Amino acid sequence: RNLFGLLVLLPWAFQFGLRQAVTTKYWPFFMWRTCIGLTGMFGMFLSVVLLPAAEAVALNFVMPMFAVLGAYLFLGEKVGPRRWIATAVGFMGMLIIVQPGSDLFKWQAAVPVLAAAAMAAAILSVKHLTSLGENPVRAVFLFGLLATPISFSITAFVWVTPSLYQLWIMLLVGATGSAAHVCFTAAFKRADASSLMVFDYLRLPFVAFFAFLLLGEVPSLWIWAG
């Protein structure tokens, strides 16, 4: 995810200039953002192993709530009742779709919650970086530059050589992930984090749409209601 996302952004780095692409006044902040972002990423992957997918997804979607609360507490954003209501309604819609069961109350449920908190902290860090005037694409490029060797040092202990087909999927994931990351970062430069986080729930209908289009999965009544 991190390696291929970085490779996708290399043409931008060469066009922008490698020296400029890695020049920033906020290296300590980037280190913090990378470590907390990787914590959230690994936590989300681990939660899918420890819990059924529905429970893992449900608990991970507390992230927008953490982000809105963090934007209010740490970034000084004004969060009115409409944003709180929109966030709560989005969370309720997610619960209707995934219909989590009793696994929400196991100790393993703490993993996706902590991952969501870490991801929210990473998102607020990105918002702070853009408010300081940081280039959105450079912010994503430097994350990949730092995250790739760190995550490889962990992955090396359980390395499995991917097949060509898996490499193609990884390239697709890296490309779409980086594109989403750049768009997300650019959006934070233009609007409050608390107003943007509500749109995170749009992942659900998009997932349902592509599951139908690519995998032939017919959405159930609960998915439409959610």
pTM of the model: 0.85
User: For residues 178 and 2, what is the distance between their CA atoms, to the nearest angstrom?
Assistant: 9
Buried b / exposed e along 66-103 (16+ C-beta atoms within 10 A): bbbbbbbeeeebebeeebbebbeebeebbeebbebeeb
188-to-131, 176, 191, 193 alpha-carbon distances in Å: 8, 18, 5, 6
pLDDT per residue as tens digits for the range 182-194: 998 999 988 999 9
pLDDT, residue 114, reads 94
> Residues 55-100: pLDDT tens digits?
888 888 899 999 999 999 999 999 989 989 988 988 988 888 777 7
